[in-house]
Amino acid sequence: MLQNLLLNLIIIKIPVVFFAILLLYSGYRIRPEMPLYRYAIALVCGGAAVLCMTLPVVNAGGFRWDLGAIPIVVAILYGGRLPGAMAAVIYAAFSISGAEGQFGAEMLSLASALAYPFGWARRYERSSLTLKLIGGLGTSIAHYFVTLNLVLYLSHTFDANLSEDRWTFIVFQVVTIITLPIVSFLIEQMYILSTYQERLREAERLNMIGEMAASIAHEVRNPLTVVKGFLQLLSTSKDERTRLYMTTSIAELDRAEFIISDYLNMAKGQPEEHREPLDVSNLIETAVQTMTPFATMQNIELRALCEPGHFVLGDTVRFKQAIINVVKNAIEAMPEGGIIEVQSFRQEAEVIVKVLDDGEGMTPEQLGRLGTPYFSAKEKGTGLGTMVVFRIVESMGGKITYQSEKGKGTQVAMQFPAVG
């Protein structure tokens, strides 16, 4: 009895080890979605369950009681209903081939363990850890009571069995109840570890971009300075138009320099903490002016509808950069042209900036990935634009929300604490 109990416990470890290997080889993705993984889960968990059955801890008149239900529950919760059902079928096939007339009872015992997880499978992933542990415990307790009653009902030799190995039986009962929550806990911990691993890789990639940005910035800055110098010489020209063009060019060069340092800041992960009151409508209008040539090229009209006189705290260049990034995405989302509206207004203690387009829009999946580095649906996209926007808005103590529907358009709303 004791020997089989220990062997059962070792067998239960197999699915846990398997999940560890799966996570390693699936490149640390949070959930293995590929069909191949799901069939592998079915096979491994079903196999572990069958192994448990060949080593029953209690044998009551041909009825075998072991820990085999646990790997099947694991298959349902971590693989889904189909792999779970497949594992159960494997178990049932061995049960019928080896049962001493107790197939029905063995199936009833199994069903008592699987009923709740089967209903729970779809919502399981989104449940909290506590809920997962409580649900696992409840499942085990239901399974325990049904099986205990079956054993009591079926067993004639049960008393003898018990008195012979009373302590092992008590331990087995406890193990039956607590093993499932423990196994789920172990698997959950591995998933958590794997997300850390994923974040670490993300940080490494960002680091690389940072170094690249630093070297590019270094290379580009020098020619920019030279061009700026010559433009400054030319801007003393007598012709007023030329002077205007020159000053505009110099201003844009300045902006280019700022953008470079902005990306450098972003990559370093420490946005400059330079904050002053910003005139929102004024800055939006200059940002819109900057983007107008780009918009016109694509048959798009940019409209700024801004209430004047609202202020927020932030850095001029970075704030303008955020607006430009959002507007640029809106323009790129409207290949057929149209109208983009940029609004700003005061709402109680906040200044709201909205950018509305009726372009391509995004699917819920795309919306979910927005703001993560390198997510881009565009052929020549960097996938850094929105991340920079998110950071800027965050560093200003603001919030940003995207509402979007595929084919309908996108609404970006930024809320900042108002000054004054």
Binding residues (CB under 6 A) for ligand ADP: these are 329-330, 333, 357, 359-362, 366, 370, 375-378, 381-387, 410
Residue 359 interaction partner, one of ligand ADP, Mg ion, none, beta carbon < 5-8 Å per kind: ligand ADP
> Residue 28: left (phi > 0), alpha (psi -120 to 50), or beta?
left
CB of 322 to Mg ion, least distance (A): 12
Residue 278 interaction partner, one of Mg ion, ligand ADP, none, beta carbon < 5-8 Å per kind: none
DSSP calls for 50-82:
HHHHHS-SEEETTEEE-STHHHHHHHHHHH-HH
Nearer residue to ligand ADP within complex by CB, 98 or 383: 383
Cα(354)–Cα(351) distance, rounded to whole angstroms? 10
Cα(399)–Cα(382) distance, rounded to whole angstroms? 23
Cα(390)–Cα(213) distance, rounded to whole angstroms? 19
The helix-helix angle for 103-124 and 129-154 (nearest 10°) equals 170
Task: Give whole-number Cα distances, 240 to 236, 243, 249, 254, 293, in Å.
Answer: 9, 5, 14, 21, 22
CB of 261 to ligand ADP, least distance (A): 19
Nearer residue to ligand ADP within complex by CB, 57 or 327: 327
Tokens representing 86 are: 């497949």
Nearer residue to ligand ADP within complex by CB, 72 or 400: 400
Nearer residue to Mg ion within complex by CB, 183 or 213: 213
Residue 376 interaction partner, one of ligand ADP, Mg ion, none, beta carbon < 5-8 Å per kind: ligand ADP
Residue 249 in 3-state DSSP?
A: helix
Residue 415 interaction partner, one of ligand ADP, Mg ion, none, beta carbon < 5-8 Å per kind: none
Among 385, 393, 400, 415, the residue binding Mg ion under the rule CB under 5 A is 385
Burial status of residue 270 (CB atoms within 10 A of its CB: 0-12, 13-18, 19 or more): exposed
Nearer residue to ligand ADP within complex by CB, 79 or 361: 361
Nearer residue to ligand ADP within complex by CB, 8 or 386: 386
241, 280 in Cβ contact below 8 A? no
Task: Provide φ and ψ at 301, rounded to 5°.
Answer: -100, 125
Query: Which residues are paired to 64 by β-bridges?
Result: 59
CB of 48 to ligand ADP, least distance (A): 43
CB of 330 to ligand ADP, least distance (A): 4
Nearer residue to ligand ADP within complex by CB, 56 or 359: 359
CB of 326 to Mg ion, least distance (A): 8
Residue 338 interaction partner, one of ligand ADP, Mg ion, none, beta carbon < 5-8 Å per kind: none
CB of 285 to ligand ADP, least distance (A): 20
Give the single-character DSSP code of 256. Answer: H
Give the single-character DSSP code of 58. Answer: E
Query: Which residues are paired to 370 by β-bridges?
Result: none
CB of 291 to Mg ion, least distance (A): 12
Residue 330 interaction partner, one of ligand ADP, Mg ion, none, beta carbon < 5-8 Å per kind: ligand ADP
- Which residue is closest to Mg ion by CB? 385
Residue 262 interaction partner, one of Mg ion, ligand ADP, none, beta carbon < 5-8 Å per kind: none
Residue 261 interaction partner, one of ligand ADP, Mg ion, none, beta carbon < 5-8 Å per kind: none
CB of 71 to ligand ADP, least distance (A): 42
CB of 263 to ligand ADP, least distance (A): 13
Residue 302 in 3-state DSSP?
A: strand
Q: Please choose, from the candidates 49, 50, 125, 112, the residue with its C-alpha nearest in 3D space to the C-alpha of residue 81.
A: 125
Nearer residue to ligand ADP within complex by CB, 114 or 412: 412
CB of 413 to ligand ADP, least distance (A): 12
Cα(106)–Cα(150) distance, rounded to whole angstroms? 9
Residue 315 interaction partner, one of ligand ADP, Mg ion, none, beta carbon < 5-8 Å per kind: none
Footprint (CB under 5 A) of Mg ion, residues 313-332: 329
Cα(71)–Cα(252) distance, rounded to whole angstroms? 64
Cα(221)–Cα(229) distance, rounded to whole angstroms? 12
Cα(391)–Cα(322) distance, rounded to whole angstroms? 9
Residue 410 interaction partner, one of Mg ion, ligand ADP, none, beta carbon < 5-8 Å per kind: ligand ADP
> Residue 239: left (phi > 0), alpha (psi -120 to 50), or beta?
beta
Q: List interacting residues with Mg ion (CB under 5 A).
A: 329, 385
